[in-house]
Amino acid sequence: MSTSAQAPVSMTWRKLPFMTMTVGSPSLNLGLGESNQSSSSISFSSAASAPSSSSSSSSSASSSDVMFYASDSGLVRAQMHAGDSDASSASDACGASSSVSFMAFDNSCSHICTSQPSNKWLVAAGRNDDNNAHSALKIWEVDRAASALSAVASTAETTTTMQAVRSIKIFASKAHEGAVTCLSVVEEEKASLLVALGCSSGAVVIIRGDLARNRFHRSVCLAPEPVTCVCVRAAGVAGDASAALYLATANRIAAASLGPANTAPASEVPLATLDDHGAAPNCLAIQPGTPHECALARDEGVFFYSMDGRGPCLAAEGEKRLLTRRGSLALIVGDQLAVPGGIAASSTPASVSSTPAAITVFDLSAKLIAYSGVLEGDFKHVLATSRGWLVVTSSGCFRLAERPLSDKLAVLERKNMHVVGLNIATAAGATASELSAFRRRWADHLYGKQDYEGAMAQYMCTVGHLEPSYVIRRYLDSSRTRHLAAYLEALHQASLAAPDHTTLLLNVYTKLRDLEKLDAFVAEDAQIAASALPLDERQEIYRGRFDVGTAVRVCRAAGYFEHAARVAGLAGEAGWKLEVLLDDLKAYDEALSYLHSLPRSASQSALMSHGKSLVTARPEATVALLERLCGAEGGAMSSSGPWSAAELPSDGDAAPGIAPSFATDDMGTMDANDGDAVVYAEPSAFLPILVDAPAALARFCSTLLRPREDGGMPADEAVLRHTLLELLLGPSAAAAFDAARNRMGGSSSAKNAHALALALLRDGWPQSEEPRFDAPRAVTLCRLRAFRDGALFLYERLGLLREALELHVEAGDADALVASVERLVRLGSGSMQLWEEVLEHLARMAGNIERRETVEHAVREVLVRIERAELLPPLVVLQALSRGAAACDDNGGGGGGGGGGGGLTLDVVRDYACRALEREARLAADDEAAAQQLLEEAESARVELESLRNEARVFQAARCSLTGQPLELPSVHFLCGHSFNARALGDGETECPLCAPASRAAREARAGLSGSSQQDKFFQQLQAASDGFAVVAEQFARALL
C-alpha cells in the first residue's frame, strides 16, 4: 500500500474569528520537582469528574475539571479546577484550583491519558525501576479517583496514595522491550478497552479486553524503526465493525486492522504501509467518522489517510510540534505557518519568549482558519474539552473555545459567505428552525440584489418553518409568477398547503397556460400508482397532497374540466367527478362507465345526487345500472371491473371532444362489492330520480317485482307495486304499459294498461295470503282513477261487499248486482234490508230503456228468491219498488232515454203480487179459524171458573197424582183436581206441581202484553217529545228500561 509522496494542495484559506483564546492563571506551578524540568518529560490528561465528596449538599453541585500531570519521577499530580469544564473564561476553568499528588510508579511515569470518548478510565504507562522489562500499565477509574483526591484536597493535604484498579505488565517478550514512546486508549463494548503502546524498539503492544477484570488479549505490531505516534479506533465506529490502528515512525506511516471487539487477535498483527513519510511525536491524530480519519502533520503540510490509503492534504509550511483533531477542527502547534492567503499566526502575545509557539486551528469542512495566535511561555500540552481545548504553557493555562454558532453565522453573513455558513451550521447540528432562519436571511439578501431565482431556491428550503405569506407577497408580481409556482409546489409537496395556496397555484398554472405542470400536479405519484397499496390508502395519500375541493373548483372555473374530473376521480370523490362529467362535459357514457367501476355503496350515493340528468340523457343504460344495484337480473355486479362497451346499454355516443384518458384514468378498478356479502340497494331510494321518466320508472318497477336470483324480493315491494299501479292508471299509462308488459312474469298477455294493473293486483294478493301492498291505499287509487275491476277485486279480498254493490249500482250492472247480493247472503254477511235496497236500485236502473229488459229480468229473479225464502213482506217489496220507480221518474227516466213512463211496469210484479195476495188470504182464513177456536176455549174456561165459584168440589182421587201412592192423611187437594200426599210436596208449596208450569206461562204472557203496552207508550212519548234524550233519561231513572 506504500505510495509516493503527494504534493500539498494549494488552497486559499480565509481567516475568520471562529474561536477565542482566554487567559487563566498567569503562572501554573506544576509542582513536579525542579523548575527547570523540560516539558518533554511531562504528560497531561484531563477529565470531568463527578461532584467531590467535600462539595455542598446541594443537589445541583457542579462537577470539577481534573487535569493529571505525570513526570519522570513517577509522581502524578491531579489539578482540580472548580466549576464546569465549559466555563466561559479560562479563569473559571483554571484559576480556582487545588492539587493533590500520588505516586503512580516507583521510578517514572512516561505517559498518562484517559480513555476516549467518555474519560471513564485513567491509564498510565511507567516503570518501577530502570529496567524496561519491568514497564507496566496501570488503570484507575476516574470518578472514584477524582472523588478521593477531592476529599484529600479538602483536608489541605497535598499528597496521598492511590491504589490502581489493575496493573498489567506491558511486554510479554524480551524482543519487544523498549521505552514507551506513545500511548492511545479507546473504549469498546461494555467495559472493554483497546490500548496501544508504541515503543522505541519499533513494536506496538496492543492490549485489548476487560483490563479491570484482568480479561484481555495481548498482540503486537512490528515496525522497522522506533514508533513516534500511535492512534487507535474502536470497533463499530463509523460503520466499520473492525478496530483500526495507525502508527507513525520518523520515515513512514502504517495501519493495521485489529478485527471486531471481543475477538482474540493473532499474536502478531501485520502492518500495511500507507506512506513513506513519517512524523514527529504528537503529530498523528484521528477523528473517527470522517472520510479520512487519520491526519499526519509534517513540516510541509497536513496529510490525511484512511485504511484504504492516502487522501487529500493541506498545505501549511512550518515546523509542527503537535496535531489534534476535534470534529471538523484540526489544531496545530508549532512555528508560524505559511498557508495560502498569508501567515496563519499573526497575533502578538503580551510577552514573547525566545522560542514562541504558534497555535493554528483549521476548520476543515469550511476551509477556514478558525484561530491563529502565538502562545506565551513554553508550550507544554493541549487537552481536549467539550467546547474546545485547554492549552498548557509554562505561563499558565489557556482556554481555546469555539464561538457560538450564531456568532459564526453572523460573521459569515457580513462577509456574504452564506454557502460556507450553511455548511458550518449543518455540520454543527443546527436545528431545522435555525437553518431556516439562516436561509431566510440569505434569501432576503439575494432578493435585495434582485436575484429572484436564487432567493426562491433558499425560500423553498424554509417550507415548514417560515410563514408562506412572507414569501408569497414578494412574488405576486406577474414577472415572478414562475418562481411563485415553484414555491407553491414545494408547499404542496410538504403537505403544508392551505386551500388558498392550492387556489393560487392552480390560478398560476392556468394564467401561464402550463398544461404540463397542471397535468403533473393533478397526476398520481408514479411509485404509489405502481405500488400494491389498497385503493383507499392510495386515495388517502392523494387527498393529503392538497385540498381536493379547491382544486376541482378552480379547474372548473378556469375551463379545465378534464383536469377537474381527474382530480376528483383520483381522490375518490365520486360526486364531484360525476358533477363535472354530467354538468360540464356532458359525458354521459363516461359517467355511466365510472359508476359501474365504483363499489355498490358509492355508486348508489352518486346516483342519488346525479341520477336525474343520467335518466334524462341515457334512460335505458341508467335503469340497467339501477336494476343491477338493486339485485335484478343476476344479482351482484360483476367483480371483474367496469362493464365493457358491449355490456353497457348505449343511448347515444359520448360527447365530442372528451379525452378518454381523463374519463377512465382513475385510481384503478374497484370491486363491485364492499364486502363478501352482497348488500342490495333499496329500490325506493331511486324512485325520485325516475319520477320524470314514466317509461323508465315503469320498467324499473316491473323488473324489480320479479324474484331475484336468490329468490328474494325487495324489502320495499309494496312501494314498487303502488308506484307501478299509479303509472298504469295515470296519464302516462300507455308508455308505462309498453315498458312493463314484457317484464312482469305471467302478464305478457295483458291487452291494455288496466288489464296489466289487475294482473299486478292479483299477483300481489294471492288467494288465502296476506297482501304484499297497502290494500286501502290501492283501493283509494282505483276509485280515484275509476278502475272498477281493480276496486271490485280489492273489495272482494277485503270483504267489503256492500261497497262492491255500490260500484255495481254506479255502473248499472243489474246481473252483477244480483250476483253480488247472493254471494253476500251466502257468506252470511247480508240482511233483509239489503234485498230491499237491491230492489230499490233495480227500480231506479229500469229507467234506462236500453237496460230495462235486463233489469226486469233481474227484478223477477230477485222476487222469486224473496218469495221462496220469505225474505221480505210483499208490502215492503212493493214499497221498495215504488220508491225506486219514483226516484227514476224524478231523475227523468233514469237518464236512459226512451218513454213508457221511465220505470218498471205492473206486469213485472203482477204474478208476484197475485201469489202474495193468495198467500195472505190463506193466512187470514187460518187466523180466523184460530181465533174462533180461542173464543170457544175462553168460553169453556169462563164456565168452569163460574162453577168453581158457586158449586162445591168433590175430591175423589185415591192416589197421589205425583207419586201414584195411595193417599194418606195428611193429604193436599187442589182445585184443578189433583191430589197429593203432604209428604210428596215441599214446604210452603201453594201451587199444583203439575199445573204450575202452564199457569206460570200464562202469567208471563199476560205480563208481556202489559210490557208491550209500556214499550209502545215509551216510543210514543219519544216520538212526540222535542228532547228525546230527556225521555230516555226519565225512563232509566224510573227503571223502566
Please indicate whether residue 761 or residue 49 has the higher confidence score (pLDDT). 761
Task: Tell me what pLDDT residue 494 has.
Answer: 87
Among 106-110, 468-472, 1016-1020, which is the least confidently predicted range? 1016-1020
Task: Give 21's strand partners.
Answer: 400
DSSP 224: S
3-state helix, strand, coil split of the chain in percent (to 5) is 45, 20, 40
Among 501-510, 653-662, 804-813, which is the least confidently predicted range? 653-662
Across the range 683-688, mean pLDDT stands at: 88
- Nearest C-alpha neighbor of 731 from the set 784, 797, 796: 784
- Nearest C-alpha neighbor of 182 from the set 113, 256, 120: 113
Please indicate whether residue 638 or residue 532 has the higher confidence score (pLDDT). 532
Task: Tell me what pLDDT residue 214 has.
Answer: 87
Q: Which strand (E) or helix (H) includes residue 309?
A: strand 309-315
Q: Taking 90 as the threshold, does the pLDDT of residue 400 lie above it?
A: no
Grade residue 514 by pLDDT with cuts at 50, 70 and 90. confident
**Structure confidence by residue, pLDDT tens digits, 551-561:** 888 888 888 89
Across the range 66-88, mean pLDDT stands at: 68
Q: Best-predicted range by mean pLDDT among 72-86, 983-997, 1025-1039?
A: 983-997
Size of the chain in residues: 1041
Across the range 194-218, mean pLDDT stands at: 90
CB 303 within 8 A of CB 310: yes
Residue 349 CB-density burial (10 A; 0-12 exposed, 13-18 middle, 19+ buried): middle
**Structure confidence by residue, pLDDT tens digits, 278-325:** 889 989 999 888 888 899 999 888 999 988 888 888 888 888 889 988
Cα distance between residue 723 and residue 703, in whole Å:
13
What does DSSP say about strands 342-343 and 338-339: parallel, antiparallel, or unpaired? antiparallel
What does DSSP say about strands 358-363 and 368-374: parallel, antiparallel, or unpaired? antiparallel
Task: State how far Cα 198 lies from the chain centre.
Answer: 66
26 prior amide bond cis, ω within 30: no
Q: Which strand (E) or helix (H) includes residue 621?
A: helix 619-629
Task: Give 249's strand partners.
Answer: 227
Average model confidence (pLDDT) across the chain: 77
Cα distance between residue 164 and residue 899, in whole Å:
150
Round to the nearest angstrom and report the end-to-end CA distance of the chain. 139
CB 814 within 8 A of CB 842: yes
Please indicate whether residue 844 or residue 550 has the higher confidence score (pLDDT). 550
Q: Taking 90 as the threshold, does the pLDDT of residue 227 lie above it?
A: yes
What does DSSP say about strands 14-15 and 368-374: parallel, antiparallel, or unpaired? parallel
Please indicate whether residue 75 or residue 453 has the higher confidence score (pLDDT). 453
Across the range 481-507, mean pLDDT stands at: 87
Helix (H, G, I), strand (E, B) or coil at 829: coil
Place of cell 254477511: 829
Grade residue 411 by pLDDT with cuts at 50, 70 and 90. confident
Task: Tell me what pLDDT residue 25 has.
Answer: 46
Q: Which triple of cell numbers denotes residue 301?
A: 503540510
CB 687 within 8 A of CB 721: no
Q: Which residues contact 515 (CB under 8 A, 6 or more apart)?
A: none
- Nearest C-alpha neighbor of 514 from the set 576, 476, 469, 558: 558
Task: Tell me what pLDDT residue 91 has.
Answer: 38
- Nearest C-alpha neighbor of 754 from the set 785, 728, 793, 720: 728
Cα distance between residue 69 and residue 397, in whole Å:
13
CB 557 within 8 A of CB 573: no
DSSP string, 2-63: -----PPBP---EE---EEEEE--S-----SS-TT--GGG-EEEEEEEPPPTTS-S-TTPPP
Please indicate whether residue 309 or residue 828 has the higher confidence score (pLDDT). 309
**Structure confidence by residue, pLDDT tens digits, 644-661:** 333 333 343 333 333 333
Rg (CA), the chain: 62
Residue 136: φ, ψ to 5°? -135, 160
970 prior amide bond cis, ω within 30: yes
Q: Taking 80 as the threshold, does the pLDDT of residue 1011 lie above it?
A: no
Q: Which triple of cell numbers denotes residue 312?
A: 487529500
Across the range 761-780, mean pLDDT stands at: 87
Q: Taking 70 as the threshold, does the pLDDT of residue 816 lie above it?
A: no
DSSP string, 726-770: HHHHSTTHHHHHHHHTTTSTT-TT--SHHHHHHHHHHHHS-TTS-
Task: Tell me what pLDDT residue 290 has.
Answer: 84
**Structure confidence by residue, pLDDT tens digits, 865-875:** 777 777 778 88
CB 221 within 8 A of CB 271: yes
Q: Which residues contact 296 (CB under 8 A, 6 or more apart)?
A: 248, 253, 275, 277, 279, 283, 284, 302, 303, 304, 305, 323
Residue 357 corresponds to which amino acid? A
Task: Tell me what pLDDT residue 644 has.
Answer: 31
Task: Tell me what pLDDT residue 991 has.
Answer: 85
Alpha helices in 72-189 (DSSP H): 90, 142-153
Angle between helical axes of 852-869 and 814-826 (0-180°, round to 10):
20
**Structure confidence by residue, pLDDT tens digits, 423-443:** 888 888 889 999 999 999 999
Q: Which residues contact 494 (CB under 8 A, 6 or more apart)?
A: 463, 464
Q: Which residues contact 562 (CB under 8 A, 6 or more apart)?
A: 585, 658, 659, 662
Cα distance between residue 186 and residue 27, in whole Å:
32
Residue 65: φ, ψ to 5°? -95, 120
Among 255-264, 575-584, 779-788, 838-847, which is the least confidently predicted range? 838-847
Q: Which strand (E) or helix (H) includes residue 422?
A: helix 418-427
What is the CB neighbour count within 10 angstroms for residue 564? 28
Cα distance between residue 856 and residue 502, in whole Å:
90
What does DSSP say about strands 342-343 and 379-384: parallel, antiparallel, or unpaired? unpaired
Grade residue 903 by pLDDT with cuts at 50, 70 and 90. low
**Structure confidence by residue, pLDDT tens digits, 905-961:** 777 788 878 888 888 888 888 888 888 888 888 888 888 888 878 877 787 888 888
Across the range 999-1015, mean pLDDT stands at: 69
- Model pTM score: 0.54
Q: Taking 90 as the threshold, does the pLDDT of residue 246 lie above it?
A: yes
DSSP string, 641-654: SSPPTTTS--SSPP
Cα distance between residue 5 and residue 27, in whole Å:
43
Cα distance between residue 984 and residue 948, in whole Å:
26
Place of cell 479546577: 81
CB 281 within 8 A of CB 231: no
**Structure confidence by residue, pLDDT tens digits, 723-741:** 888 888 888 878 878 877 7
CB 288 within 8 A of CB 237: yes
DSSP 437: H
Alpha helices in 461-547 (DSSP H): 468-472, 481-493, 499-512, 515-522, 526-530, 535-543
